[in-house]
Structure 1
């Protein structure tokens, strides 16, 4: 079989139409969003309950501010990660799937960034309340670095390393 990408006999890329590519990418995107949606919804649900606990009344002003910011971030992350579903519902059958996939992909990326920030502020708040110590940032920073490596560093490295020229 003659390849389209050089003399080594292997094909490069997929032989698919723009619509077929959009269908495939949509399916992949929805699978990814399902994982992130579950996590953000569980986290957001727990965050919403905190205000109704006796411990909330004992929080200092800084911790209450961190909590309010965290809840707002969690709400925004939830909206961005559920957004692709609404987008699909509103444009299905309109022959705009390639454009919808691009928009949904951007919403998902924004949702993941917001989820990262939400998880960071949640961890900060929880450790501040649990320890009341000044070493909390030294615990939070390595976790955030780990998230950044797992979510962005490794994927960007793989993209750079393994993307065919």
Structure 2
């Protein structure tokens, strides 16, 4: 069980069971949102030197908001965007990304105590030419590797192809 809190402790999420995986995403959407959050947030940056955003993926049915849900503010890059990113408005802490059409939630790794180390960098085709990646030994993929897709699919199968809501989090 992981307790995920904002910087001031007003918002607290709970994630049960093991996470699905930890990745660093370089897609344009994650980089754009992450850079905007980092420019406004007083907490540690969520974007690394290569523009990647480290996230821990959990099934939505294993995450719930214990307190402070009224302080979660959703941000979308465009009104039509299927991804919303939730920030604790009390202290400006970016908390998680929610692909609303999916069954998983991407919790910013810096919010997760004793978070697993990332295993892969994905969507590196979206970064600017000449981007220098850290020498961290992580495999880099231009898109999403087959192992990533298979993990998502097998998890969804075990969930009975459901797309649950995150308990206690406003729509």
TM range (shorter): under 0.3
| TM-score (ref. length: structure 1) | 0.26
| TM-score (ref. length: structure 2) | 0.25
Bigger radius of gyration, 1 or 2? 1
Greater fraction of residues in helix:
1
Greater fraction of residues in strand:
2
Q: Which fold has the larger relative contact order, with Cα–Cα distance below 8 Å and residues 6 or more apart in sequence?
A: 2
